[in-house]
Amino acid sequence: MNEPKRIVIETDDWQALKAYTAARIALGRTGVSIPLRESLQFKLAHAHAKDAVYSQLDVSGLQAALRSTDLPIYVVRSQALNRDVYLQRPDFGRLLAEESAQRLHESNAPAADISIIIADGLSATAVNTYAASVVNKLVETARKAGYSLAPITLVEQGRVAISDAIGHILRARLVLILIGERPGLSSPDSMGAYLTFAPEPGLTDERRNCLSNIRDQGLPPDVAVSKLMWLIDSAFRLQLTGVFLKDNDGSEPDRLPIG
């Protein structure tokens, strides 16, 4: 009786670099294919990414986590009635629903320096996990710096540009939106932050600054708050955001120990 043939997994010369990234590198080979373990992990990561896209904003959880800010919290929604419409019609996600716009108008909130918005975007999982810690720290730091704050707004089925209308209605000089980014196969929980000075409907993306990949394995929330405050201070000093406001606060990323 023949003994079963032993399967050999050929390792990759880049194996040592796997310690520095969650990216799919140095997978090894079994014959002409990738190993079964790596194939199954790829399918699991794809499932996590898909779950993130269809995850829901934890409105009650965020309201509870943000209570210590002592700021009013408004819950609004875009013109996308459900997730399927949101995914098929990105333009609807950029527009406030009429009843939500009316509610913000009727709030008669006083004009403020900064309006903070949290939107589900393409990964509510990301903002459910990281938005509260960023906002709580940011509110504390902004108040110490002397900035006034508008009510916090939670947006369901929202995209980045919806912040223009919200900031304009609330008469904010600058708007910050924290939003779930498009999930990657190694990052279903990545949160982005977009800053826009003098928000009004109709602005385009060159008027914004963005911090991306806010999460424990990317840009940690504490570091993100420091960078956001540097950008906010610079925006008020220069009276602008966008392509003419560069993130050159002097900090440098750590270098990989290669060579």
pLDDT of residue 7: 66
Question: Residues 229-254: what's their mean pLDDT?
Answer: 84
pLDDT band, very low/low/confident/very high, at 257 (cuts 50, 70, 90): very low
Q: What angle do CA 60, 169, 90 make, to 5 degrees?
A: 70
DSSP string, 214-254: ESTTSB-HHHHHHHHHHHHHHHHHHT--STTS---SS--PP
d(CA 256, CA 51) in angstroms, rounded, equals 32
* Lowest model confidence (mean pLDDT) among 9-13, 180-184, 252-256: 252-256
The CATH architecture one would assign to domain 56-238 is 3-Layer(aba) Sandwich (3.40)
Report DSSP state, residue 79: S
Asked if residue 193 has pLDDT above 60, the reply is yes
pLDDT, one tens digit per residue, over 114-149 is: 999 999 999 999 999 999 999 999 999 999 999 999
Question: How is 1-22 classified by DSSP, letter by letter?
Answer: -PPPPPP-PBP-TTGGGGGG--
| Best CA proximity match to 118, nearest among 94, 153, 78 | 153
Q: Which residue has the higher pLDDT, 37 or 148?
A: 148
Whether 4 has a pLDDT exceeding 70, the answer reads: no
Average pLDDT over residues 236-258: 73
Maximum average pLDDT range among 7-11, 17-21, 101-105, 182-186: 101-105
Q: Which of 15-24, 155-164, 172-181 has the lowest mean pLDDT?
A: 15-24
**Confidence bin at 249 (pLDDT 50/70/90):** low
pTM: 0.88
Confidence of residue 255 (pLDDT cuts 50, 70, 90): very low
Tokens 């440098």 appear where?
Answer: 252
Instruction: Please give the pLDDT value at position 3.
Output: 66
Residue ranges of the annotated binding site for adenosylcob(III)alamin are 160, 181, 210
pLDDT of res. 1: 58
Q: Are 125 and 131 in contact (CB under 8 A)?
A: no
Give the pLDDT score at 105: 95
Domain residue ranges in the chain = 56-238
Terminal Cα distance for the chain, rounded: 51
Beta strands 172-180 and 112-119, pairing class: parallel
- For residue range 209-218, list pLDDT tens digits in order: 999 999 998 9
- Counting every residue, how long is the chain? 259
Structural contact between residues 74 and 153, judged by C-beta atoms closer than 8 angstroms: yes
Residues forming the annotated binding site? 160, 181, 210
Comparing 5 with 119, the larger pLDDT belongs to: 119
